[in-house]
Amino acid sequence: MTLVRITESTHGVELDLKYATPDNFTGQPVYTRAVCFLRPEAEALLNRAVGLAARQGWRLRVFDAFRPSEAQWKLWNHTPDPDFLADPRRGSPHSRGVAVDLTLVDAASGQALDMGTGFDRFDPLSHHGNPGISPEAERNRLLLMGLMTTADWDFYRNEWWHYQMFNARDRFAVLGDADLDDSMTAP
């Protein structure tokens, strides 16, 4: 397999895999099991980000990582919004196993930092640099962006939670359920 499983115990992250629950913009689970994977190259960058966060007293809470192409189609068919979802015909960095959706958590209290909107809010308030959020939320987004870009991740300007490897579409093929030992999506 070309993907590495990311777990709380092996990677020092919190997992809150939204697409394995109804707590996402579709209102229903998209994945049949709550598992998290990345390509080895992306896992190395995640490990770097985890180390940087820990030194500052934070943890990373991961909402999504590898997303089989079948799941990308489900999301797109529900809400075909190219400002917030990659058209599955082009392929998503998530479906290449080189993107992660996440936030920062205070390691001492377990509280997520205020980012001004929730995960997957398809609204301009989710954009980096939007002046409609509080100064504290903007500062927290900048902290997350600084941490992730220092760890060599690229950001997506429309989603404060989304980070991906640079030039993902040129470097990595789209993967699906067939690339896993056990499917993540129901037929």
Active-site residue set: 159
Rounded Cα distance between 60 and 63, Å, is 10
What sign does the dihedral 145-159-49-14 (CA atoms) show? positive
3-state secondary structure 6-51: CCHHHHCCEECCHHHCCCCCCCCCCCCCCCCEECHHHHHHHHHHHH
Count Cα atoms within 13 angstroms, Cβ side, for 100. Answer: 35
What's the residue count for the chain? 187
